[in-house]
Structure 1
């Protein structure tokens, strides 16, 4: 993984825009270095009246040799690569995937060949490729948007073009937006005579190239077969015949996806036996299945760290002590607000829902995988610490800036930091621990693919199976525009990388192509019907407790949402500016 920073500007930039640029670039370069602490480098080229700057950093997670980014070859071609190739292009354990990719791209004759090359590889990525002899620049993100790439297009005040993996927060020197995943983009630098017209000169290269088989150009469409009246699953212990093959195939697909994401991680120059893999772990079905499958492929003498975050939430603590005063009659509420709770007398606890289910579930993992050291990392975040970090998190997640963005991002920020305490067994004395793992597995994606949200049940009640199919297609269509870029910016700020086994395009395509009734059954009770196929798979793996747990959103399970008294009525889709003015 790496950080990408690229700029294109006139060599004769006026003083004021040049001042803007000179204040912006060092901020972004510093944030890029945090993503890739192992190496950083910068290249400058002049093309006609343009100055082209490539800056990249390296987090070494592939290959045996030390690699510095940007990648470059003897012909002057340059690749800034923030990604992992898990399928398609053959990359041996000792090889660096960015080096192999640069060689493949150097064989391309035009931007359509570049798009075809990326249509044959699977993995999360954002990239920038410069073909020196033709002065062609190509850039893009993977079809699901699993890696961040932000863009600033030149305008009258800031007449420069910037691509960046990171943000420095809201600033008048740029207008950042997430780069679309719909296309691969190309710029002929020879044809640029006015940067203010650059946006209209960018070629949108299709991902699907006629006449070519490109298995990873985009996710498959959802199977639109409408079932009649499929048999109902009564209990998870008995897999009905019509689901047997699908359960086995899901386990095989997920097992392979996890294997590809945890194998061949280079050891660091640290003590042997340290964890190289961690899991964002709530004790829910998604994270537990991922952790269980990781046990199959991580060397048995290495621990696996389970990252479990809990926030001190004064609003929740106050409700626990004196009840929900905002539900009281007007007079009583006024009296309570006039004489507020002395919070200093409240004993702060971190027994949030995700902590309780996590503690239960780690014991199930220990029973099923007794040879493994499972480091259940209790990451407790005091209210003061979370508030002190708020400005940093807001800058990292920008241009995402809603209340929900912040509550999710701040949970990931502290979880990824990995600083807390572990216990050798329940009831043992807690010992301080900082996770050294740089690969963090995330269970995100299962709800979108397997019908895990309440809205899928609502759709079924309103319009039957057809509505569920439509909703599942919508879920896949909006994965690239939701929160993956934001999460990548936040997590990677710690020099760590998140990997999503459910969001392998191989897994996505397999699940999309299954008939809907094999994945979800909204006719069944909560805790059974949603993500039915995954629940059956978890039960078959022996994860009895995890298989029947209901979904709980991270911000509510960790208590990272609406932490201050009086914030209970703030809506998740409000912008942070809106909430500050209310």
Structure 2
């Protein structure tokens, strides 16, 4: 995933401004981290309108480095921060297609793009940027939706002293939309709790799901760094990450290792319970004071045997048993509390404009926790040849990270689906599935991309390919989950049947566990225990 920065202003309105010049350099450095292979700046002026294009390149495709911004002899410029399944450089390929267009409508039909902010009289500048540097008085940034794209008519901006304003920015809605969730309400379908003996209809659907998901993984395991680990999986040992690792094995050269990034945090609250017992019944002020003053780390042997580490080790053995030809590296990413504390400001800046406690460490989705994603993407930890061997330091070389985001949203993996069913039956689950699908881009994708890409890595989401989404959305709800069944079977039932078919027996029956609890990243810092997920972090 590359980094882009576009800065537009009228020269007469924005004379030498030290604060803005400093901000531009900080933004440039932040976006350079997303594309460590090459960076370049292009400056263009049209009358009194000044434009600066900066782009950084993370090379994952093609035979050679291609530096951004892309440009031609006609003055066209393209900064591309996206992902196209192609053996060529995707930005160069898109630029070539754009050069063939003649009208905005043709561009609209070619692009899936973004909606940008509009300058005002008080702030006569336009900035489009992949990642910010956090809270800053010079700008007010918004998360960009993906249902439309904006374009600026540059010649119209050079009309006398006219300031940049909303009328100069025009919007085209995109014509592509995700397939809606099938709203067919089942008529009391039979209960089938045996994953080994599903109905013929469910068995066929499971095979089709495996086919769509396998093709999606195949398209997302291309990379150019031959001879070392090119692909890594954000790996908790849950069903989502395990099935992605298993399918990746089919499409990565056998002599290349696959890294399984498994994160564990040192959590002072857990240590306090271990050393002083459960203090849950104490008054809130006393609990905070104990946490602040009474932990003596020098006397405590910190271990990282968190739930996700245990399931990760179990699934490592299952993968080694099913795919013995592969070198599987379970990368134990152990995060001391002090290191988390030191990195917190950096993580919050990357999250911005997401600024809630939920964005940082607490969310229901397995792979959307900014703190865990930040340290996982860095890929620094230790590995063991076997479970009992001594650990050795290891830094993952993989620059493509597979992420299981989308599985819970599409297949009903959250506990709230059971709650909805108890309240209003199958119709409530259908409504909840549609809501989850609708808010994935705004709740997850932008923030996760900014955090992961800060290490020069690209995250890919096989469950969110159009093929997988369309297939799962088309199925009646009772073929995807059954809240009448016990935990570990009913949620994501179809995926459990599919994984059982390929031999992932342990993974197929594992209960859902949110990453903040599995990695112990939840409720680490003083004062976070009583804050709801939408509580704003301090500025």
**Fold in common (TM above 0.5):** yes
Structure 1 residue 295 and structure 2 residue 254: aligned?
no
Partner of 2:141 in structure 1? 176
CA offset at residue 329 of structure 1? 7.2
Q: Deviations over 1:351-371 (max 9, x none)?
A: 111111101110000000000
Q: Spell out, residue by residue over 1:195-224, the C-alpha distance to the aligned partner (whole angstroms, 9 max, x if none).
A: 75533432221211xxxxxxxx22111111
Q: Which runs of 5+ in 1 are unaligned?
A: 120-139, 142-148, 209-216
Question: Hey, what does 2:52 align to over in structure 1?
Answer: 53
Residue of 251, 259, 263 corresponding to 1:305 = 259
Provide Cα deviations, 1:509-550, integer angstroms capped at 9, x if missing partner. 111111111111111111111111111111111100111111
**Deviation for aligned residue 1:19:** 2.7
State which drifts further: 192-201 or 362-371: 192-201
Aligned equivalent of 1:230, options 181, 189, 212: 189
- Aligned residue for 1:241? 200
Are 1:107 and 2:100 counterparts?
A: yes
Q: Determine whether 1:409 maps to 2:402.
A: no
1:267 aligns with 2:221: no
Q: State the shift of 1:565 in Å.
A: 4.6
SS at match of 1:326: coil
* 8 Å contact from structure 1 (residues 307, 418) kept in 2: yes
Which residue, 457, 479, 484 being the options, matches 2:418? 457
Contact 1:284 1:549 in 2 (8 A): yes
Cα-to-partner distance string for 1:41-98 (whole Å, 9 max, x where unaligned): 1111111220011110100011112200011123221111112212xxxx4x3x2222
Q: Matches of 1:66 and 1:339 in 2, distance apart?
A: 53
3-state SS of paired residue (1:521): coil
Maintained 8 Å contact 2:134/2:353 = yes
Q: CA deviation at 1:336?
A: 6.4
SS of equivalent residue, structure 1 residue 249: helix
Q: 1:98 aligns with which of 91, 110, 115?
A: 91
Partner of 1:432: 393
Return the TM-score normalized by structure 1.
Answer: 0.87
Match of 1:352 among 303, 306, 328: 306
Asked if the contact 2:236/2:311 (under 8 Å) is kept, the reply is yes
Q: CA deviation at 1:570?
A: 2.1
Distance in structure 1 (CA, Å) of the matches to 2:306 and 2:82 = 34
Cα displacement (A) at 1:156? 4.5
Structure 1 residue 242, shift from structure 2 partner: 1.9
* Corresponding residue of 2:11: 11
Structure 1 runs, 4 residues or longer, greater than 4 Å off:
193-197, 329-339
Mapped to 2, the partners of 1:338 and 1:502 lie a distance apart of 42
SS in 1 for 2:237: coil
Q: Please state how far the C-alpha of 1:153 moved relative to its aligned partner.
A: 3.6
Question: In 2 relative to 1, CA 338–205 (structure 1 residues): closer, same or farther, beyond 3 Å?
Answer: closer
Instruction: Tell me what 1:443 maps to.
Output: 404
Which of 421, 429, 453 lines up with 1:468 in the alignment?
429
Is residue 234–residue 402 contact of structure 2 (8 Å, CA) maintained in 1? yes
Tell me how far apart the structure 1 counterparts of residues 491 and 9 of structure 2 sit (CA, whole Å).
Answer: 51
| Displacement after TM superposition at 1:105 (Å) | 1.0
In 2, the alpha carbon distance for the partners of 1:184 and 1:333 equals: 50
Distance 2:288 2:334 in 1: 33
Per-residue deviation at 1:157?
A: 4.6
* 3-state SS, counterpart of residue 45 of structure 2: strand
Change in Cα spacing, 1:20 to 1:329, as seen in structure 2 (3 Å) is closer
Whether the 8 Å CA contact 2:203–2:497 is kept in 1: the answer is no
Per the alignment, residue 165 of structure 1 pairs with: 130
Give the TM-score normalised by the residue count of structure 2.
0.94
| Residue correspondence of structure 1 range 33-48 to structure 2 within 5 A | 33-48=32-47
Given the superposition, is the C-alpha separation of residues 266 and 348 from structure 1 closer, same or farther in structure 2, using an over 3 Å criterion? Answer: same
Mapping of 1:371-520 within 5 angstroms? 371-407=325-361, 408-520=369-481
Alpha-carbon displacement from aligned partner over 1:97-123 (angstroms, at most 9, x marks no partner): 22121111112122221121136xxxx
Aligned equivalent of 2:365: none
Distance 1:162 1:335, change over 3 A: closer
TM-superposed CA distance for 1:319, in Å, is: 1.5
- 1:372-418 Cα distance to aligned partner (Å, 9 max, x none): 00000001011111101111111111111111211121111111000
Provide the rounded CA distance (Å) in 2 between the counterparts of 1:52 and 1:512.
43
Contact 2:236-2:262 at 8 Å conserved across structures = yes
- How much has 1:471 moved relative to structure 2? 0.8
Is the Cα contact below 8 Å between 1:152 and 1:175 reproduced in 2? no
With over 3 angstroms needed to count, the CA separation of the structure-2 counterparts of 1:12 and 1:560, relative to structure 1, is: same
Structure 2: 5+ residue stretches without partners: 362-368
1:339 is displaced (CA, Å) by 8.2
Corresponding position of 1:124: none
Give the Å deviation of 1:333. 6.7
Counterparts of 1:12 and 1:330, CA distance in 2:
56
Shift of 1:187: 1.8
1:205 partnered with 2:169: no
CA RMSD of aligned residues (A): 2.1
Q: How many residues align?
A: 530
The aligned residue for residue 214 of structure 1 is none
The answer (yes or no) to whether the contact 1:318–1:343 under 8 Å persists in 2 is: no
